[in-house]
Amino acid sequence: MSAASALRKFKAVCAYDGTDLYGWQSQAGGNTVQDFIEARLAVIFKGPVRIHGSGRTDSGVHSKGQVFHFEAEWPHPPATLLRALRCGLPAGIQVTRLSRAKADFHARFSATGKRYCYRLYEGFAPPWDNRYCWSLGNRRLDTAAMTEAARHFIGQQDFTAFGANRGDGSADNPVKDMRWVDVSRRGHKVTLTFEASGFLYKMARSMTGTLVEVGLGKISPDELATILHGRVRTEQVATAPAKGLWMERVFYGA
């Protein structure tokens, strides 16, 4: 068997605390999720192994379900590779699942949708929560108004007004299918959930920031709809802090 034919494709799911990381994508200065995982794989396989993620998360953003794939020659069960991969990663990064994948699987291009959650805290969050939510201090939210405004996001439409420029020349189709938006409250904690076919750069944080503006009474639900349908980003679109955002899940077909 040739070296090429011995390669196997693997699909993995990882979780991470993004507080002290520079995001998902590899950078020259390191300290990204991709850099740490590739460094560990290089030790295991005694050479470079490139991983491909389902998408990029910014510095400070967390994940419960980031998906990535890679190819390597590994004749043993995937469970042994998972154990080897886990033991050499920083405490803030954990590979939770690993399995063999079909030859045509791609973590990004095979994805059919993603779910993000944003966590808000009315009041001053305790230290053990503050790293993972946006603490609103003395401000209070009208979640009924936020729920009314969130309905305008549902459906297939152009989300240009809630995207941002990466500054690297890349572009994404601004038309996304927003399948589900939820605003839920449990005591001081308010959680926003967005599920869509895909997300533009900073889209989830921009949707959150603007819904918070609605919740604070600074703009109305109808004004949010006008912003969305205007398809131009304006000063009314606020970007929520990265630390409250969580990539929850990536969806794939059967």
Torsion of CA 122, 154, 201, 123, to 10 degrees: 0
Q: How far apart are CA 100 and CA 108, in angstroms?
A: 16
Q: How many helices (DSSP H) and strands (DSSP E) are in the chain?
A: 7, 10
Count of CB atoms within 10 A of residue 41's CB?
A: 21
Q: Give the 3-state DSSP-derived string for 198-233, with helices as H, strands as E and coil as C.
A: CCCCCHHHHHHHHHHHHHCCCCCHHHHHHHHHHCCC
The one catalytic residue in 17, 58, 129, 177 is 58
Q: How far apart are CA 133 and CA 120, in angstroms?
A: 5
Strand partners, 40: none
What is the identity of the amino acid at 209? G
Asked if 58 is an active-site residue, the reply is yes
Q: How far apart are CA 80 and CA 5, in angstroms?
A: 21
Residues that are catalytic: 58
